[in-house]
Each structure stands twice: as structure tokens, then as C-alpha cells.
Amino acid sequence: MNANIISILQNLIYTTYLAELLPFSMGLIFLKKINNHGVKVFFFYTLFLAILLSLSLYFKFIQNDKAGQLIVNRFALVGEFILLSIYYNFFLQLKWKKGLLVVASIFFVAYSFYDYLVATNPLDFSYRPLVLECLFFVLLIIYFFYEKLQYNVDAPIMHTPEFWVSVAFLLYFSGNFFLFLFSTSMLKNPEFRNQYVIIYGTVTIIKDILLTVAVVVHAFIGYLRNGFSDRPPIKIDLDTFYPTTNTNHNLR
């Protein structure tokens, strides 16, 4: 393979690592603006992702422990599923949403643990739980947008951080669904691995940019609302206008 291509792919991998830390970094900047349950769960998700990513890189580059890295990655996958389920529990209007998300989380944790136990080679990462996660959240987020279009009347949908979070994850899960699906059998192909790095890196970077936009939107919209709420109401006190009387007076 051309050395320039290898260098580009390697730089893309490092850029993807840095992009994963971007939403958490922006959340720290606007930490005082985190004032509701949904945003708190989102910030905890970014914190969880940053810690697990740091541990994964520690095992990969410092300890050179592939088994430890894969365990961390599996734990990150399970944690991501649970935290996103909790996040959408605050925004869905579905009556039986809590039961659905709890059952889905329990099933996903059980399946991930089972998939780890039956793996023929514990040093190979299994993509089956990732495929399942992508499918579940693509359907969930599509339903979320359906509800938003049906019931959202308070503010334009683009002025809500959950809109940008959902766009980010819909792009991420739908863009990587077939990539993870084909990875179960084609990852040993060198050309496919290069395509994997390009597609996954690009989609992940865009996702993290949109998640960062969600943080900024939450802080900016909150600032505007607080600014308008602090202003005194505008008093308009106009003199009573009597057109008939004024007309008669002018005619005299």
C-alpha cells in the first residue's frame, strides 16, 4: 500500500479519537448550563465515553493488551446503549416507553454477555451487538422525530438540543449499520479494512461535530431565554383616542 495512503488513514484514526472528546470538552465549557435531566444524562454519556476511550487507548498503545482493550470496548458498548436509552426516556411521549427501554437494555446486556462467552476467539471483537444497537436506535430515533413533528409546538425543532443529538446518532447508527454488518465476515480483507477506517472515521467525526452543536444550541438557547425572562415587560400606555370627538373639535 502507498505510504501516503497509510499516513492519511492513520491521521484519520487519530482525528477520530480527538473528535470523540469534543462533545465532552464543549460540555465542560458550558457546565453551568446543564440544568435538566436530559442534558445531564447526555453530559454523563460524553464523560463516560471520554473515560472509556482513554482506557481503550491506554491498553492499546501503552500496555499493548488487546484483551483488555476489547473488554473495555464491550463495556463501552453496553454503557452507551443504557445511557442512550435513559436519555430518550426523557423525551419520548410513548406511554410504555419506560418498559420498552428497560426490556431492551436488559436484553442487550444479556446478549452482549452471551456473545462474549460464546466467542471462538476472545481477542476478536464481535460486531453482532453493534449491529443490534444500530438497528434499535435507528428505529427509536425515527419514532422520536415522528413524535416531535406531531406534538412539538413550544419551539422550532432545530432550537432543541435533542434534535441535534438525534440527528447525530441517526447519522452515526444508520451510516455504520451495513459497515458493522459486513465486518463480521469481511474484516480480514485489507481493502475492506481501509474502507472501514474511512467510513467509520468520517461518520464518527460528523456525529461528534453535531453533538457539539447540540451542546452549543442548549447553552445559547438557554442564554436567550434567560435574557428575555430577566427583562422587564414592555409597558405601552397610550392615551385614549376618540376619533369622533377629535373630529368635531377640529371642525369647530
What is the C-alpha separation between 172 and 19, in angstroms, rounded?
A: 13
C-alpha pair distances (Å), 26 with each of 50, 194, 215, 216, 226: 12, 30, 7, 8, 20
pTM for the predicted model, two decimal places: 0.86
pLDDT digit string, tens, across residues 134-187: 999 999 999 999 998 887 666 778 889 999 999 999 999 999 999 999 998 898
Written as nine digits, the cell of 24 is 465532552
Residues 166 and 139: beta-carbon distance below 8 Å:
no
Average pLDDT in the 240-249 region? 45
pLDDT band at 109; cut points 50, 70, 90: very high
pLDDT at 1: 64
* pLDDT band at residue 230 under the 50/70/90 scheme: very low
217 touches 161 (CB < 8 A):
yes
C-alpha distances in Å from residue 93, one per residue of 76, 89, 96, 139, 152: 28, 9, 9, 15, 11
202 pLDDT more than 60: yes
Q: Are 167 and 224 in contact (CB under 8 A)?
A: no
pLDDT at 94: 86
Residue 19: CB atoms within 10 A of its CB come to 18
The whole-chain average pLDDT of the chain stands at: 87
Whether pLDDT at 91 is above 70 = yes
Residue 126 burial by CB count (10 A; 0-12/13-18/19+): exposed, middle or buried?
buried
Structural domains of the chain ordered from first start: 3-229 (1.20.1070)
Count of Cβ atoms closer than 10 Å to residue 192 Cβ: 15
Least confident window among 29-43, 109-123, 149-163, 174-188: 149-163
Percent of the chain scored above 70 by pLDDT?
Answer: 86
Would you state the cell numbers that stand for residue 129, as one nine-digit string? 451487538
Q: State the residue for C-alpha cell 473528535.
A: 19
